[in-house]
Structure 1
Amino acid sequence: MSAEGQARSHWFDDEAGPVVRPYAMTRGRTTSAAQHRLDLIAVVVADARADDPAEDSTLSPEHVDIVERCRDTPQSVAELAAELDLPIGVVRVLVGDLVAEQLVHVNRPVPPAELVDESILRDVINGLRAL
């Protein structure tokens, strides 16, 4: 097989067509400014200002897909990665871009350490009943 044929087979899948590497989608970036907030269960919500992201020529098709998927139903980072068939790291960078552009916002889950313990609530209820 010629060098050109080997290169073509490396970048082309007969069934899938051209293969785009994840680093091409993120322009080689592995982090974004907002990535520290993006754990797997963080919920991504499309901003009301994101009317038609497809008209924004600065957004990639993956960016547009994320905004469109989150418009009607907020989605977790893990759900987006599964639905878009992209690695989590790529989705985090793309969502970070969208946060910076104010097209989406992220609702972080409450850390377990900040959740109220059920036994404390029971003690409060019992104390109120005792009054």
Structure 2
Amino acid sequence: MNEDTTAAAPHGRGSQWYDTEAGPLVRPYAMTGGRTHPGPTGVRFDLIALVTLAPAAPSADGTKLGPEHRVLVDLCRTETQSVAELAAGSDLPVGVVRVLLGDLLELGRVAVSRPVPPAQLPDERILREVVEGLRAL
């Protein structure tokens, strides 16, 4: 029998949200205010959507920014990152990151772009013919 049960030991009422090793746990809906969808309509935060700081972003001391928002801004400060990279770098669930990015987009703090869709990329057959033509030269 495992004797090391202190990490999961109850600490009174509401103890299921406390872990002695990790500290108090925050539910994802608490970080987003219970929201599950990003604010702006028409913007899709796919895993591959690229997020950068907006060129004319307001100062970083905004009162509407929570600690999770600030983490995302700091991650975008160094380079453009995908939504998946932001979720991994912030150690937050992707759904939470999408909602927080929606907030940042509405505040004018970030810009979102999408990579070229596969339908707009050149056909692989055409690229092979170009390579073969270059080799024939």
Per the normalisation by structure 1, the TM-score is 0.81
Q: Any gaps of 5 or more consecutive residues in structure 1?
A: 127-131
Aligned residues: 122
Aligned match of 2:96: 90
- Note if 1:29 corresponds to 2:35: yes
Distance 1:39 1:65 in 2: 19
Structure 1 window deviating more from structure 2 (90-99 vs 30-39): it is: 30-39
TM superposition shift of 1:48: 2.4
Matched, 1:64 2:59: no
Identify the structure with the greater helix proportion: 1
Give 2:12's aligned residue: 5
Contact 1:98 1:104 in 2 (8 A): yes
Say which SS state the counterpart of residue 46 (structure 2) adopts: coil
Q: 1:39 aligns with which of 35, 46, 71?
A: 46
Are residues 35 and 69 of structure 1, via their aligned partners in 2, closer, same or farther at CA, if it must alter by over 3 Å?
A: farther
1: CA distance, partners of 2:120 / 2:68: 34
Over the residues paired in the alignment, what is the CA RMSD in angstroms?
Answer: 2.4
Counterpart of 2:12 in 1: which secondary structure?
A: helix
Q: Quick one: distance in 1 between partners of 2:128 and 2:23?
A: 59
